[in-house]
Amino acid sequence: MSPVMSPSCEVSPGRPPELLRLAGGVSLHRRGPDRAAALNAAVRANLDHLRPWLAWAAEAPTRALTAELARAGAAAWEAGTDFIYLLGVDAEPGSVIGSFGLHARIGPGALELGYWVDAAYAGRGIATTAAQALTGAALALPGIGRVEIHCDRANGASAAVARKAGYRLARTAEVAVRAPGETGRQLVWVSGDQADISR
C-alpha cells in the first residue's frame, strides 16, 4: 500500500499538496500560524532529542519566535523556496509530533528533505512513511528531478529513514560541525530519476 492515503488539497502550480494523509493515522499539514503554539510545545519537549543533530535546537524557542517562523514559512511556501509541514495525529486535531520540510537550497532541479519526529513516536516507521510521501510529492513538481537527504554519519536514525525510504547513499561530504552530535562527515542520500551521484 502506498504510504500516502490521499492528498486532501488541490495542488497549486509548482507547489506540493498542503495536506497529505498517511497510513497509520497521521497526516502532514502545511505549517501555519494555527499550530504555532503546538509546534513550540513539541520542540521544547524534544530539545534533548533534537539538540545533538540540529543547530537551531541549541536553545528553547519562544512562542513569538515560533510564530514569526510560521509567518516566514508561509511567505517561503508562496515563493516556492521552502515547503514546511507539521506531522500530526489524526485523532488529536491540532497536534504536532514532528516537522518535515522540502527546501530549495541545493541547486536547480532539486529539493532537500529534512525532518524530525517526537521522541515518543520514533522507531515506528512514521518518519519513513512521511519521507516517502514527501519525496513523491517533490518529484511530481515541475522541474524537480532529484530529492536529497543530508545527515551526519553519526545520526544512525536519520540514515535509516533515508535508506528505508528508498534513497541511495551518493557520497560523504566534509562539512562544518554545527551541532554537538555531529562529526563533520555528512552523508548525502539521493532519490529521483535525475539523481547525480557524482557531484
Query: Is residue 196 pLDDT above 80, yes or no?
Result: no
Instruction: Give the chain's domain count.
Output: 1
Decide if pLDDT at 65 tops 60. Answer: yes
Residue 123: inside a domain, yes or no? yes
Whole-number pLDDT of residue 192:
82
Domain assignment present for 69 = yes
pTM confidence score: 0.89
Percent share of the chain, pLDDT over 90: 88
Q: Which residues of 11-32 are buried (b: 16+ CB within 10 A; e: fewer)?
A: eeeebbbbebbbeeebbbbbbb
Examine residue 192 and state whether it is found in any structural domain, yes or no: no
Vertex 56, ends 53 and 58: CA angle to 5°?
80
Residue 159 lies in a domain: no
Checking if the pLDDT of 154 tops 90, the result is yes
**CB 112, CB 102: distance < 8 Å:** yes
pLDDT in tens, 2-23: 444 433 333 345 899 999 999 9
Closest CA to 34 of 75, 70, 73, 77: 70
Q: Mean pLDDT lowest for which of 11-25, 114-128, 144-158?
A: 11-25
Distance from chain centroid for Cα 60? 20
Contact 176, 152 (CB under 8 A): no
If pLDDT is split at 50, 70 and 90, which confidence band does 55 have?
very high
Residue 197 placed within a domain: no
Q: What is the pLDDT of residues 19-42, one digit of tens each?
A: 999 999 999 999 999 999 999 999
Q: For residue 29, what is the domain's CATH number?
A: 3.40.630.30
In a domain, 59, yes or no: yes
Render pLDDT for 172-195 as a digit per residue (tens, 0 to 9): 999 999 999 999 999 999 998 755
pLDDT at 13 (0 to 100)? 54
Q: Average the pLDDT over 80-89 and give the result.
A: 96
Structural domain for 82, as ranges: 4-141
Mean pLDDT rounded to a whole number for the chain: 91
Q: What is the CA angle 106-168-52, rounded to 5?
A: 65
Q: Mean pLDDT, to the nearest integer, of 116-134? A: 96
| Phi and psi based region of residue 19 (left: phi greater than 0; alpha: psi -120 to 50; beta: remaining) | beta
Q: Please indicate, yes or no, if residue 27 is contained in any of the structural domains.
A: yes
pLDDT at position 14, please? 83
Q: Is residue 103 part of a domain?
A: yes
